[in-house]
């Protein structure tokens, strides 16, 4: 029997890189009896980080789905990557859960990805629990982290646990909700609750009062009794807390040392008692009509099992060996075996009910973001809201003839991670591999080699310059070739005019009478357009001009389309030189998020990159800077930003418009292009 929606908890584990999310999930699995040993990230033995790349880099690169049973409830856990380059999976996970656990380092406090995901969880109306992890580290301070949470994320953050001791003298934690303590199990199974040690009683009373104040404020009946001095039972407080967490009126803050399995029991209790079930909260994505519906939020490109789609059942029950409809492709899909994932292990299940999370292999057309229905009906497709990839590299296979293999492998990888894109730049002719960061692209290249056996090289991409004209000019193109037999003759006179905004191309036939027959005039246009593909300045495409065909002559026998095409091309090249040609470069709109203390350095650096600042917006220790910067200046921006902000800054950008390149820089680009042309001839 599938779990009923009221007994399921769906939780995304999110947070900045290096806050111990994978270790936290590992501890929850171990304590709940889903595994029989506590794996570690260092030894590569965790359930979540099962991929070779993850074990080598000792960090999560994609979301991993696990589940545990606790107090008769099924808790689906999605362990997500914390690195900004791999945030696509975290964003997708937040779309399919009712609750999120935010892992925060007791040493570092609130970091940039924490704030980002908090904002997303807020927009999605998710219930949130914060776990202050790594309390046994040097300089770890639970109370300082709690203050940072309250000031930078929300003043509704309230402690439900407090630590006993600090740093390497940490001996346990106190669960303020149930008024009991758990002592440090040193990586073994956590023992049952014990009495609260006398030396922390005063602090416990103080924080218990703060917790009760926060909880009863959300429940009038309890408030009255509390103010009258009546004793409230732990069950009543827990019930009121759950209601408050469900409504987003309280965000409980828990304690943990995941690597030692401390705080795990109290956290499991909190997830069951604090995070609402699908039955209580309703589906996070609504689909019109009745019947079964499931939303695919992740795809795994498995070289052996093929494509595995991971989904959340929104309504109804999805059964194995059944037929379904893909709402986007309007195609029928055959569901074979349904699976429940535990890291890389797959357990087969006959069916999955509303609110549950599972996977299915070998669907033909289904990809991330698709909705699967039991019958064809029109529905509004939900958006996951993946970020736009910003970091591009030109990519070429090491072995000639591997182009098709490379493209096929990268297509498979972009099914798994839609924030990786391969596209051909129509202008430079390069294949561009684009991702969210340099490491993101490098990992895709590693996977291409390990999974699909294709080795590729990355190069700096070329800037797609354009050329245009600034003034009017006139020229004649006369092509005459006389050899034995029939000759070739074409003759045309054209006028070039700049178009506003340096965009577009127009061809205007101004021929009066029959100096050039009607049938040859399109050939002139064709010859000009072919000449515009590589401008005479730097070999870049020319745009932003109008061509007037004003005069010419022809020969009744020797004229041909070919001759007029060549004449058109000659006329254009001659007129172009006299029309004050200039180079145009793409200008990007850049949005940088940086810690306040690095704002000066980031702004100074943007100025040195010919950036124009458009505004700044400080918020909670971070500042967002908007600027317009030439693309040529930010091809290697991510490394610079990482070093200026100690890895805490990130950015995204998109194309804005083309602008003239300053003369001294244009000359360098032109010289470089000439040099390349010369070398190509050798």
What is the radius of gyration, based on Cα positions, of the chain? 32
pLDDT in tens, 462-500: 888 999 999 999 999 999 987 766 789 999 999 999 998
487 and 357 within one domain: no
Secondary structure (3-state) at 186: coil
513 and 441 within one domain: no
Domain's final residue, options 563, 579, 595: 579
Angstrom distance (rounded) from CA 395 to CA 393: 6
Question: CATH number, domain at 525?
Answer: 3.30.230.10
Angstrom distance (rounded) from CA 141 to CA 530: 68
For residue 225, tell me if it sits in a domain: yes
12 and 124 within one domain: yes
300 and 237 within one domain: no
For residue 679, tell me if it sits in a domain: no
For residue 139, tell me if it sits in a domain: yes
Quick one: tokens of 601? 């350095």
For residue 383, tell me if it sits in a domain: no
Q: Where are the alpha helices (DSSP H) in 9-66?
A: 21-31, 52-57
Angstrom distance (rounded) from CA 591 to CA 161: 38
For residue 378, tell me if it sits in a domain: no
587 and 546 within one domain: no
Domain's final residue, options 558, 579, 600: 579
Question: CATH number, domain at 159?
Answer: 3.40.50.300
Angstrom distance (rounded) from CA 111 to CA 524: 61
Contact (Cβ atoms closer than 8 angstroms) between residue 185 and residue 31: no
Query: 94, 164, 154: which is closest to 130 by C-alpha?
Result: 154
Contact (Cβ atoms closer than 8 angstroms) between residue 385 and residue 393: no
What is the residue whose two structure tokens read 């965790």? 46
pLDDT of residue 607: 95
pLDDT of residue 1: 67
Residue 57, judged by CB atoms within 10 A of its CB (0-12, 13-18, 19+), counts as middle
Secondary structure (3-state) at 648: coil
User: ∠15-16-17 over CA atoms, to 5°?
Assistant: 120
92 and 220 within one domain: yes
User: ∠173-97-440 over CA atoms, to 5°?
Assistant: 90
233 and 318 within one domain: no
Residue-number span of the structural domain to which 552 is assigned = 467-579
Domain's final residue, options 579, 601, 621: 579
pLDDT of residue 49: 62
For residue 380, tell me if it sits in a domain: no
Question: CATH number, domain at 623?
Answer: 3.30.70.240
Angstrom distance (rounded) from CA 352 to CA 639: 45
- By DSSP bridging, strand 157-159 and strand 251-255 are parallel
pLDDT in tens, 121-176: 998 899 999 999 999 999 999 999 999 999 889 999 999 999 998 888 889 999 99
For residue 384, tell me if it sits in a domain: no
Into how many domains does the chain fold?
A: 5
652 and 570 within one domain: no
65 and 127 within one domain: yes
Secondary structure (3-state) at 69: strand
Which residues are 93's β-sheet partners?
none
215 and 319 within one domain: no
pLDDT in tens, 180-235: 999 988 878 888 888 998 899 999 999 998 998 899 888 888 888 888 888 888 88
Given a cut of 70, the residues of the chain with pLDDT beneath it are 1, 49-50, 52-55, 303, 484-485, 620, 682
Question: CATH number, domain at 354?
Answer: 2.40.30.10
Chain-centre distance of CA 108, in angstroms?
Answer: 24
440 and 398 within one domain: yes
154 and 212 within one domain: yes
Query: 416, 415, 453, 418: which is closest to 434 by C-alpha?
Result: 418
Question: CATH number, domain at 420?
Answer: 3.30.70.870
For residue 288, tell me if it sits in a domain: no
DSSP run (H or E) holding 308: strand 306-315
Angstrom distance (rounded) from CA 514 to CA 228: 104
């Amino acid at each position: 029997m599938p779990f009923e929606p009221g007994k399921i908890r769906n939780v995304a584990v999110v947070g900045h890189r290096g806050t111990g999310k994978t270790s936290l999930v590992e501890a929850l699995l171990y304590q709940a009896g889903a595994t029989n040993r506590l794996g570690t990230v260092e030894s590569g033995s965790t359930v979540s980080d099962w991929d070779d790349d993850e074990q080598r880099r000792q960090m999560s690169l994609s979301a991993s789905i696990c589940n545990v049973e606790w107090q008769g409830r099924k808790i689906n856990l999605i362990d997500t990557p914390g690195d900004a380059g791999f945030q696509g999976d975290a964003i997708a996970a937040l779309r399919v859960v009712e609750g999120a656990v935010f892992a925060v380092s007791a040493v570092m406090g609130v970091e940039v990805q924490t704030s980002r995901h908090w904002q997303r969880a807020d927009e999605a109306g998710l219930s949130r629990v914060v776990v202050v992890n790594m309390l046994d580290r040097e300089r770890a301070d639970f109370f300082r982290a709690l203050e940072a949470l309250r000031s930078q994320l929300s003043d509704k953050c309230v402690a439900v646990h407090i630590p006993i001791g600090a740093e390497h003298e940490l001996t346990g934690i106190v669960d303020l909700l149930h008024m009991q303590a758990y002592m440090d199990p040193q990586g073994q199974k956590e023992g049952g609750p014990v009495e609260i040690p006398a030396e922390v009683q005063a602090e416990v009373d103080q924080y218990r009062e703060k917790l009760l104040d926060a909880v009863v404020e959300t429940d009038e009946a309890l408030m009255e009794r509390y103010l009258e001095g009546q004793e409230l039972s732990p069950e009543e407080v827990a019930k009121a807390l759950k209601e408050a967490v469900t409504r987003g009126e309280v965000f409980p803050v828990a304690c943990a040392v995941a690597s030692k399995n401390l705080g795990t029991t109290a956290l499991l209790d909190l997830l069951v008692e604090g995070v609402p079930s699908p039955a209580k909260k309703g589906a996070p994505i609504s689909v019109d009509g009745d019947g079964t519906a499931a939303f695919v939020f992740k795809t795994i490109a498995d070289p052996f099992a093929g494509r595995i789609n991971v989904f959340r059942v929104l309504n109804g029950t999805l059964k194995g060996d059944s037929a379904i409809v893909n709402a986007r492709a309007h195609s029928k899909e055959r569901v074979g075996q349904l699976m429940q994932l535990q890291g890389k292990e797959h357990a087969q299940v006959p069916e999955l009910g509303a609110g549950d999370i599972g996977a299915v292999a070998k669907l033909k057309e289904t990809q991330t973001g698709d909705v699967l229905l039991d019958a064809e009906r029109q529905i509004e497709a939900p958006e996951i809201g993946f970020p736009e990839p910003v970091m591009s590299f030109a990519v070429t296979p090491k072995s000639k003839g591997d182009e098709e293999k490379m493209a096929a492998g990268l297509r498979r990888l972009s099914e798994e991670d839609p924030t990786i894109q391969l596209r051909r730049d129509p202008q430079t002719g390069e294949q561009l591999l684009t991702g969210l960061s340099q490491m993101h692209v490098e990992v895709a290249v590693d996977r291409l080699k390990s999974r699909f056996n294709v080795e590729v090289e990355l190069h700096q991409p070329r800037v797609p310059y354009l050329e245009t004209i600034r003034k009017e000019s006139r020229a004649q193109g006369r092509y005459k070739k006389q050899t034995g037999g029939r000759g070739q003759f074409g003759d045309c006179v054209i006028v070039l005019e700049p178009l506003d905004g340096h965009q577009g191309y127009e061809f205007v036939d101004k021929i009066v009478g029959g100096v050039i027959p009607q049938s040859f005039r399109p050939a002139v246009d064709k010859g000009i357009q072919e000449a515009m593909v590589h401008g005479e300045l730097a070999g870049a495409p020319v745009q932003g001009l109008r061509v007037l065909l004003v005069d010419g002559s022809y020969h009744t026998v020797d004229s041909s389309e070919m001759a007029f095409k060549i004449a058109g091309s000659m006329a254009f090249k001659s007129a172009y030189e006299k029309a004050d040609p200039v180079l145009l470069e793409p200008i990007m709109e850049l949005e940088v998020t940086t810690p306040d203390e690095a704002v000066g350095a980031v702004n100074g650096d943007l100025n040195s990159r010919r950036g124009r600042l458009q505004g700044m917006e400080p918020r909670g220790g971070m500042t967002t800077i908007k600027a317009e910067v030439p693309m040529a200046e930010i091809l290697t921006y991510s490394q610079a930003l990482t070093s200026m902000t100690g890895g805490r800054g990130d950015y995204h950008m998109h194309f804005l418009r083309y602008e003239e390149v300053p003369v001294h820089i244009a000359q360098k680009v032109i010289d470089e292009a000439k040099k390349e042309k010369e070398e190509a001839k050798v």
